[in-house]
Amino acid sequence: MNLRIADIKQFINSDFGSYIIGDGFVYKKTANEFIKIEGDFKYIINIWPVSWSSSYSVDMILRISQKRVEDICEKILGKQRHRLTFSEDMLERIYYSPDGRKIVKGESLGLWFSTDNDVYTQLPTLKTYYTEIAKPYFSKFASLEAMDDFINNPPFEYSPAYVGAFTNARCMKGLIIAKLVKNPNYDKLVAIYDEVIKRTLSDVQPDSITNYNKVKEYLKQNSI
């Protein structure tokens, strides 16, 4: 292949970017992502080109950042590297889930290129992914109440398909959202997340339980 990562990124920006600009998305070159801000909600489309030995791959990742939730989280825990409230790294989980909660296995939606022509013929598929997956997904979450419905309801044995993220993030942000919307089941959720947080992997998330307890105690002592 003659094309390089920089060429693929440029093509994504010009072709895919021009397709979604009408919906209010702005391209951020440093992170190779497209961002749309509506009120306290930031909708993020990450496009990840990866170079392999003789080919390239491109994946689309959908994320949502809710300003009130992330501001409260940082107030309690300090500056966070990622301000992501819903973060599902696998587009397939969003696409194949029948209800946004259950995780169903399906064929990969990643794009693979072994020739230059593959780039030009396959990258337009990103437009289809946007229309059929990203746009409907983002439209579901325009309120904290909508987020509360997904993050603070079963399944609790794993993170719902539309929520994603690590277990500790689901527990902490679930409580923050529940508090913000005055979820009547808040005390029950605390009891549930007290058990769920024990399943975090201490080697991957060494401060998970400590941070969770900080959030829980702050919400107990303070109005938000």
Q: What is the pLDDT, as a whole number, of residue 31? A: 83
Q: Give the start-to-end residue ranges of the domains of the chain.
A: 5-221
The reply to whether the predicted model has a pTM over 0.85 is yes
pLDDT of 178 > 80? The answer is: yes
Share of the chain above pLDDT 70, in %: 97
With the C-alpha atoms ordered 155, 160, 166, 171, is the resulting torsion angle positive or negative? negative
Q: Where are the beta strands (DSSP E) in 81-127?
A: 86-88, 111-113
Residues with Cβ within 8 Å of 36's Cβ and at least 6 positions away in sequence, in order, are 23, 24, 25, 26, 42, 43, 138
| pLDDT tens track for 123-175 | 899 999 999 999 999 999 999 999 999 999 999 999 999 999 889 999 999 99
Choice between 2 and 196, residue whose per-residue pLDDT is larger: 196
Q: Residues near 160 by Cβ (< 8 Å), separated by ≥ 6?
A: 100, 101, 102, 103, 150, 151, 153
